[in-house]
Amino acid sequence: MNLSRVMIYGMGLMGGSLALSIRGKFPETNITAVVRSEKSKHTILSKKLANHVVLQSEMELPDWSNYDLVVFSTPVESILKIIPTLPKSGNTIFIDLGSTKETTVTAVESYYGTQTHNYISTHPMCGSEQAGPDAAVENLYVDKLCILTKPNSASGTSLEWVRSFWERVGSWTIEMDSKSHDETLAYLSHLPHVVSTILVNVAGANFRTMQEVTGISKPITGGGFRDMSRIAGSNPEMWISIFKENKDFLRKSIDDFIFQLTEFRDLLKPDSPFDENKMRSLWELAQSNKEEIRKSK
């Protein structure tokens, strides 16, 4: 695998961690980072995440063909703006690390049309509540899933190259088309973030709860609430951008959630009998769904 020159466009936690992984596996690789702030530039140079750091404001469009691999590690919205500037020939492989796929893949497909290209969209399923290159760690991608999405007209060799690249970094890979990716992630990732945030705000809006909470110096609740609120309100800029890109599937998942929760609520109506069997079957169904989705109890 030839990896002499890599550009990482946008270097926060994800891009910075990828730089460290590349340093570990391909010590000869020359890494160029493109960032927006002087602060990031300073961090990247002092942590030696890249050999060169360029500020976005100081640069015209880069000469993409100088690189074996270009990694877009910025929000999807800004990737969409870059796609129409990419070269239509050459051997450079392009990947992004975006959390949604449909808008990116559609942009790639409409830009390249029937022309063969080397753009593979990827989604490494990892991250952290921390952000920025300061938080970068070498093993972020080790033993994590990386989802690969191949746009129409992407070459088969580029897909295999990208698959090998992620496997060398330590990830395991699967392929999904862009719609399956965005729908599945709506249910398994985006909806849980919304639900956690709303849960905290519902408790926060209840007068008696907050009166009790503010009256004491220790938390009232145990592990259940702590787990259910961990991701609440995290990373607003990142999540708002994800919700915007995936709003249709997210809305559908919320509608499904409201439907099922309303059915449960109706079991608690004052004038209807308390249907323990129905509740028990919902609990048992959740046990088996949980085991299947988490691949463990």
* Exposure letters 165-178 (e unless 16+ CB within 10 A, then b): bbeebbbebeebeb
Report the residue number, 28 or 207, with the smaller CB distance to a copy of itself. 207
Nearer to a copy of itself, 156 or 222 (CB): 222
Would you say 32 or 138 has its CB closer to a copy of itself?
Answer: 138
Site residues for a copy of itself, window 209-248 (CB under 8 A)? 209-222, 224-234, 236, 239-240, 243-244, 247-248
CB of 278 to a copy of itself, least distance (A): 10
- 64 versus 243: smaller Cβ distance to a copy of itself: 243
Q: How much is the CA Rg of the chain, to the nearest whole Å? A: 22
Burial of 73 (0-12, 13-18, 19+ CB in 10 A): buried
Q: Which stretch binds a copy of itself (CB under 8 A): 8-16, 20-28, 158-166, 203-211?
A: 203-211
**Number of other residues whose CB lies within 10 A of the CB of residue 96:** 26
| Torsions phi, psi for 272 (to 5 deg) | -110, 155
Contact pattern for a copy of itself over residues 158 through 197, marking x by CB under 8 A? --------------x-x-x--xx--xx--xxx-xxxxxxx
57 forms part of the interface with a copy of itself (CB under 8 A): no
- Shortest gap between Cβ of 97 and a copy of itself (angstroms)? 14
Site for a copy of itself in 85-144 (CB under 8 A): 125-127, 144
Name the phi and psi angles at 138, rounded to 5.
Answer: -65, -35
Nearer to a copy of itself by C-beta: 62 or 192? Answer: 192
Nearest distance from C-beta of residue 167 to a copy of itself, angstroms: 14
Total interface residues for a copy of itself by CB under 8 A: 99
| Residue in this structure with the two tokens 């069997």, named with its chain if needed | 277
For residue 172 the two structure tokens come to: 């395991």
Q: To the nearest whole angstrom, how small is the minimum distance from the Cβ of residue 216 to a copy of itself?
A: 6
Give the interface segment with a copy of itself, choosing from 12-20, 60-68, 76-84, 283-291 (CB under 8 A).
Answer: 283-291
Of 28, 59, 262, 271, the one binding a copy of itself (CB under 8 A) is 262
- Candidates 88-96, 111-119, 157-165, 274-282: pick the segment binding a copy of itself (CB under 8 A): 274-282
Nearest-approach distance from CB 3 to a copy of itself, in angstroms: 26
Piece of 8-16, 29-37, 88-96, 270-278 that binds a copy of itself (CB under 8 A): 270-278
Alpha helices, DSSP H, located in the chain: 13-25, 38-46, 76-82, 102-112, 156-169, 178-185, 191-204, 207-214, 223-229, 236-245, 247-266, 276-294
- The residue with tokens 């033993």 is 143
d(CA 70, CA 54): 14
Q: Read off φ and ψ for residue 84, nearest 5 degrees.
A: -70, 0
Residues 6 or more apart whose Cβ sits within 8 Å of residue 149: 101, 105, 120, 121, 122, 123, 175, 176, 177, 178, 181
Query: The tokens of 96 are what?
Result: 């992004």
Q: How far is the CB of 243 from a copy of itself (least distance, A)?
A: 7
How far apart are alpha carbons 185 and 190 in whole angstroms? 6
CB of residue 263 vs a copy of itself: minimum separation in angstroms?
9
